[in-house]
Amino acid sequence: MQLFIGLGNPGIEYEGTRHNIGFRVIDKLIKNSNARDVSKASFYGKLYKTHNALFLQPTTYMNLSGKSVIAVKNFFKIDIKDIIVIHDDLDLPFGALRFKIGGGHGGHNGLKSIDSAISKEYIRVRMGIGKPEHKSQVSSFVLSNFSDDENSFIDKYINHSIDGITKIKDDPLEIIKSKYTLKSIDSIK
């Protein structure tokens, strides 16, 4: 069984923010698969299940995502190689998409929390959100909404990422990378 985790923050005030792109991907995966809600308080998140996949949105807030991930991983006995984390990435331009296993957290507190809970050897789906002009603006930038121009492409971006994500169980990661990696949103406009 695969565990797909979308990172974000719970609450209506965070719904359209850059930091919540992982939640938006999970929302679409749940809708596409008709997954059923199997959430429990002990999972510290919203959890949905199909016959061969779990979809998790931790509700611990970004900085404590690992608490939710380890609870679900342990309960369902999920192997680390079957964990796929979808997250925003400041180091990539808006619309860029990368797939990788392991690596550093790059200052992303959600990844830092997951790394300390289960190790770093899970699959990461890095979704580029752009970067602010100054480092001091990072917090306000990731918690801001996408621009109108970006929003006009967001559905296409999410759909492209889902096309790649859903092939992970069937194809080697190198094939996924070659077919679905994007340098920027211009690649799919």
51 is catalytic: no
Query: At residue 159, what is the residue type?
Result: N
pTM for the model stands at 0.96
What phi, psi does 3 have (nearest 5°)?
A: -115, 115
| Residue recorded with tokens 């979704």 | 127
Distances (CA, A) of 136 to 98, 104, 130: 25, 21, 15
Encode pLDDT of 58-97 as tens digits.
999 999 999 999 999 999 999 999 999 999 999 999 999 9
Kindly tell me if the per-residue pLDDT of 187 is higher than 90: no
What contacts 140, CB < 8 A, 6 or more positions away?
132
Domains (ranges, CATH) in the chain?
2-187 (3.40.50.1470)
**Once rounded to an integer, what is the mean pLDDT over residues 129-149?**
94
What contacts 49, CB < 8 A, 6 or more positions away?
35, 36, 38, 55
| Residue recorded with tokens 């621009």 | 147
Query: What pLDDT score was predicted for residue 107?
Result: 86
19, 87, 108, 160: the catalytic one is 19
What's the Rg (C-alpha) of the chain?
Answer: 15
